[in-house]
Chain A
Amino acid sequence: MRKLTILKAFIDFFWIMAIIASPLILILIGFIIIIDSSLLGKHNLYIYGMFIDNFTGSSKIVIILPMIAYLISIYCLYLFRKILSHLKNLELFHDFVITKMNTIGNLLTLTAILNAIPKFIYKQVYENKINLDFGMNPIIVAICLGLFFMILSEIFKIAKNAKEENDLTV
């Protein structure tokens, strides 16, 4: 269980850092919604490796969606912390662990999609091209991680049934 303690310490650290950054993200989202192109003037905005030169609807989506994905990731981190607390208390097959692992899986897949949409829009609108990338990009990794959590949830569900049967065998 020492490894679990180390992992929990890491997750707690990331959680604290994320909590500090999240109000800033919320303020930024509000700011981007109300801002218009005149504020930028002739300047370009460089964000997530993309140059934004105006604040139209599509460019606002390009900026806001990854921020929403970030907030969802923070929620995933929160759930993961809770799961680790349960595991630390040796409540391995608790219903909370099973349901929330599945939730994390779904949310991580959603964040991957939310991150992929702006990139796709940016390539379409600003670069006029469709890019096919078969490498290990963060979106693929996030989808794989999401699916991994879903599978883990299923495994825990099967394990819970097995444990229940074992406990009810006289």
Chain B
Amino acid sequence: MPIIINLDVMLAKRKMRSKELAEIIDITTANLSILKSGKAKAVRFSTLEAICKALECQPADILEYIEE
């Protein structure tokens, strides 16, 4: 998919673990793993908002469009 999820990069920058983020934004680690691996077909605005709030970043820091 041409949309790349840079969540692991942001997590590394903030020195935060996936499990911590999952607890903060109240989603399961399995779902977070789906998001990180790029298998997710859609992201809810509420989830995106929670991630941006937790990582103190913009949606563009997490999502990136790369032409195939």
Q: A residues near B, CB below 8 A?
A: 164-165, 168-170
B-side interface residues, number (CB < 8 Å): 12
Contacts of B39 in A (CB 8 A): 168
Ranked 8 nearest A-B pairs via Cβ: A168-B41, A169-B42, A170-B35, A170-B31, A170-B40, A165-B41, A168-B40, A170-B43
What total of A-B pairs shows CB separation below 8 Å?
A: 23
Contacts of A164 in B (CB 8 A): 41
Contact pattern, B 34-64, Cβ under 8 Å of A = 1, otherwise 0: 1100011111100100000000000000000
Contact pattern, B 1-39, Cβ under 8 Å of A = 1, otherwise 0: 000000000000000000000000001000110110001
Q: B7: shortest Cβ distance to chain A, in Å? A: 10
- CA of A116 to CA of B43, assembled, Å: 53
Q: B33: shortest Cβ distance to chain A, in Å? A: 10
